[in-house]
Amino acid sequence: MSPQVYSLIFGGIGIGLLVVGMIPARLAGRVPDVSLLRWSIIIPLVSSVLLLAGFLAGAPIWYTIPVLFVTIVPLSVMGTASFSLALSRQGKSAGSTSALIGFAQMILGGLMMPVVGIAGDHTAVPMGIIMLTGYLLANIVFRNLTPPPPCRYNGRAGALRLRVVSTVRARRARLYGEVFL
């Protein structure tokens, strides 16, 4: 690949980051940050699986570039939504929290840099593994640290789900001696 083609690909992904990064601003107040974060983690998780599969199979460039685009571009939404959620609960310590998040990002990026090139410059498999691992860990953390969406009554299915959730909570309360409200 020539330097000109590389720079066009790099610029295209940068424009994608810029355009997709405007989505949270347009949807602010109408779509919860948790929903934006959920989808900005799920989409690149799926595409990073496809990207790693392409790297392992030796996929051509016409396959790799669009999949790489879909894997990287949701980072702008993910960053905005996750920062918003993290800082919304901090109050007076929001500045310190922001600094800590930025510091952690830079340290993790610096630690992963040599790992990406561990197999040499002829393969992108380590990069694919790191991307998949990162998105997988993000998905696990998101699922374990965010509360489930509120249960809304939507007819018979909603009533059934509400009854099941109430039964599970009651059993857990009896089992662990929790206060059941």
User: Does pLDDT of 181 surpass 50?
Assistant: no
Cα maximum dimension of the chain: 66
Residue 163 to residues 8, 41, 160, Cα–Cα distance (Å): 55, 30, 5
User: Does pLDDT of 135 surpass 80?
Assistant: yes
Averaged pLDDT, 163-181: 52
The first and second tokens of residue 50, run together, are 């496809």
Question: Average model confidence (pLDDT) for the chain?
Answer: 80
pLDDT-derived band at 15 (thresholds 50, 70, 90) equals very high
Q: 111 exposed, middle or buried (CB, 10 Å; 0-12, 13-18, 19+)?
A: exposed
Q: Which CATH number fits domain 3-149: 3.50.50.60, 3.40.50.12780, 3.90.1310.10, 1.20.1250.20?
A: 1.20.1250.20
pLDDT-derived band at 136 (thresholds 50, 70, 90) equals very high
Across 42-46, 129-133, 141-145, least confident range: 141-145
Q: Which residue has the tokens 């997709």?
A: 20
Angle made by CA atoms 139, 39, 73, in degrees to the nearest 5? 95
Q: How far is 111 from 173, CA to CA, in rounded Å?
A: 43
The 10 Å CB-count burial string (b at 16+, else e) for 26-47 is eeeeeeebeebbbebbebbbeb
User: What pLDDT, on a 0 to 100 scale, did the predictor assign at position 115?
Assistant: 81
Judge contact between 126 and 119, C-beta under 8 A: yes
User: What pLDDT, on a 0 to 100 scale, did the predictor assign at position 45?
Assistant: 93
Phi and psi, residue 111, nearest 5°: -70, -35
User: What pLDDT, on a 0 to 100 scale, did the predictor assign at position 180?
Assistant: 41
